[in-house]
Amino acid sequence: MEYDYDDDDRDCFCAGLSSDCNRAPDPHQQGCKFTDKLGHHGSGVEHLNREYLVEGQLFHLLAEIAQILFFLMGAMTIVELVDAHEGFALITERIKTKKQVSLLWSVAWITFFASAVLDNLTTTIVMVSLLRKLVHETHLRRFYAGVVVIAANAGGAWSVIGDVTTTMLWVKNKIGTVETIGSLFLASVACLLVPLLVMSRGMKGDLPQGNAIQESKHMKNLEPWHQALFLALGIGSLLSVPVFKFFTHLPPFMGMILALSVVWMVSEIVKHTLDERTRTSTGVLAVLQRIDMSSILFFLGILLAVGALSATGLLGGLANWLTETIPSNSIIALLIGLLSAVVDNVPLVAAGIEMYQMPENHPFWMMLAYCAGTGGSCLIIGSAAGVAAMGLEHINFVWYLRKIAPWALLGYLAGFVVYWIQAKLTGQL
């Protein structure tokens, strides 16, 4: 394995190991990093390689992964705190329509904008829970749930905090907050609008009457101001994270931890206005137990595996092969999006980040953010939102493939075309 050291490092290495070197080793010289290392651990290329692998690669990789995981854990905790105080009920309770088409459009666009602030998984769970109260017929409710999956993935693609993949690209300084909204908003709208226009044609009349599915939830003694406070506080704290990064230039996870600390302190103050039973179910300790740590550990394993592939040079070789085989980066991004419907989009984006070295806000990163975020809608197993809806409503894989997947694919391609035209008109491509 070959390593690229700069001239000072080569001089230090030479001075510490070779008697033929014209430069004498100076242990007091601060620039001679490798001589100091070898002085502690002996001499030889093996020790130097070990130091580079541990400190130059492993520690650096763990630091980057830790930023992503801390960011996700902070965001998930804030969202769970809002949900524990039933803040999302203020939004869902205001949907009173009985028309099938009106409900379809209302649910779709609420999901679209909510997932840009929250994450698409949480938004899907909230909206499917709403549908269980509004739509009593099972087949029709599954149809609405399929639209929620498309809307949640489309909404998360144009926000740096709306989807894990866009968050990864943002944390890695591949895309900017404002640039992502400007580049991907219209494409994401098209990704949802096209399926809605097609699917609305077959929906007429009022919703069928029947008995709604009752959620077995603990009755909490919460006042409306509790709900409004935590809804505003949760959304405001999440939106403050990109602003914090813009003004301080600190890593995003620090802004998320700061936002979580503010919400945490407010919850500690507010809990004194609640009864003992409600206080127990809405406390931070109870909320922390609801965090999906299995997903966090999954991301940890995936990112470590991708980092190992990058360190061995395999991803760089794959990038060169793809560039030689498929000369268009647009087609590569499009294929990655379609592949994310079968393979989880997190490892695909992580691999893409390591494979390509392009400047921030390059069109390829924008296309990758859109394609990886929305391509998973083409199959029910292709995204976290789809898997959540599948579990909550027991959606059959084949049923989704027949009823929802064709329109999801049509919207995915329409959004990609809209971005391509927009990038051409603005001179980005």
CB neighbour list of residue 341: distance below 8 Å, 6 or more residues apart: 375, 376, 377, 378, 379, 381, 382
pLDDT of 210: 54
Q: For residue 22, is pLDDT > 80?
A: no
Alpha-carbon torsion (239, 244, 250, 253), positive or negative: negative
One domain, residues 33 and 71:
no
> Using 50, 70 and 90 to split pLDDT, how confident is the model at 385?
confident
Q: Residue 161: which of 227, 116, 217, 108 has the closest Cα? A: 116
One domain, residues 334 and 380:
yes
One domain, residues 33 and 157:
no
The pTM score is 0.68
Kindly list the distances between the CA atom of residue 47 and the CA atoms of 27, 30, 33, 39, 57, in Å, as whole numbers in the listed order: 17, 20, 13, 10, 15
Any domain includes 59: no
Q: For residue 372, is pLDDT > 60?
A: yes
Mean predicted confidence (pLDDT) in 132-146: 85
Q: Would you list the DSSP string of 123-183? A: HHHHHHHHHHHH---HHHHHHHHHHHHHHHHHHHHTSTTSSHHHHHHHHTTSS-HHHHHHH
The answer to whether the CB of 392 falls within 8 A of the CB of 206 is: no
CB neighbour list of residue 49: distance below 8 Å, 6 or more residues apart: 1, 3
One domain, residues 13 and 48:
yes
Any domain includes 282: yes
Alpha-carbon torsion (331, 301, 156, 170), positive or negative: negative
One domain, residues 19 and 90:
no
pLDDT of 48: 60
Helices and strands in the chain: count of H runs, count of E runs: 22, 0
Number of domains, the chain? 2
Beta-ladder partners of 99: 206
Amino acid type, 334:
L
Query: Rounded CA gap, 28 and 41, in Å?
Result: 17
One domain, residues 15 and 155:
no
One domain, residues 143 and 25:
no
Q: For residue 296, is pLDDT > 60?
A: yes
> Using 50, 70 and 90 to split pLDDT, how confident is the model at 7?
very low
Kindly list the distances between the CA atom of residue 6 and the CA atoms of 12, 36, 312, in Å, as whole numbers in the listed order: 10, 16, 20
One domain, residues 46 and 71:
no
Q: What is the CA radius of gyration of the chain?
A: 25
Q: Which residue has the tokens 């990058």?
A: 310
* Number of residues that make up the chain: 429
What are the tokens at 153?
């993935």
Q: Which residue has the tokens 């400007």?
A: 182
pLDDT of 53: 67
Any domain includes 262: yes
CB neighbour list of residue 35: distance below 8 Å, 6 or more residues apart: 12, 13, 15, 16, 25, 26, 27, 29
One domain, residues 37 and 75:
no
What is the CB neighbour count within 10 angstroms for residue 39?
13
Taking the alpha carbons at both ends of the chain, their separation in whole angstroms is 36
One domain, residues 108 and 42:
no
Q: For residue 102, is pLDDT > 60?
A: yes
Mean predicted confidence (pLDDT) in 137-146: 88
Query: Rounded CA gap, 125 and 115, in Å?
Result: 11
Chain center to CA of 145? 20
Domain of 143 in residue numbering reads as: 67-425
Query: Rounded CA gap, 132 and 142, in Å?
Result: 10
Count of alpha carbons within 13 Å of 92, Cβ hemisphere only? 19
Query: Rounded CA gap, 122 and 388, in Å?
Result: 9
Any domain includes 300: yes
Q: For residue 212, is pLDDT > 50?
A: no
Any domain includes 11: yes
Any domain includes 58: no
Any domain includes 61: no
The answer to whether the CB of 399 falls within 8 A of the CB of 142 is: yes
pLDDT tens digit sequence for 321-358 = 777 788 788 888 888 888 888 776 777 788 888 878 88
Residue 343 DSSP one-character state: S
Any domain includes 108: yes
pLDDT of 49: 64
pLDDT of 34: 40
One domain, residues 130 and 21:
no
Q: What percent of the chain is predicted at pLDDT more than 70?
A: 83
10 Å CB burial of residue 208 (0-12, 13-18, 19+) is: exposed
One domain, residues 230 and 294:
yes
Query: Rounded CA gap, 347 and 363, in Å?
Result: 20
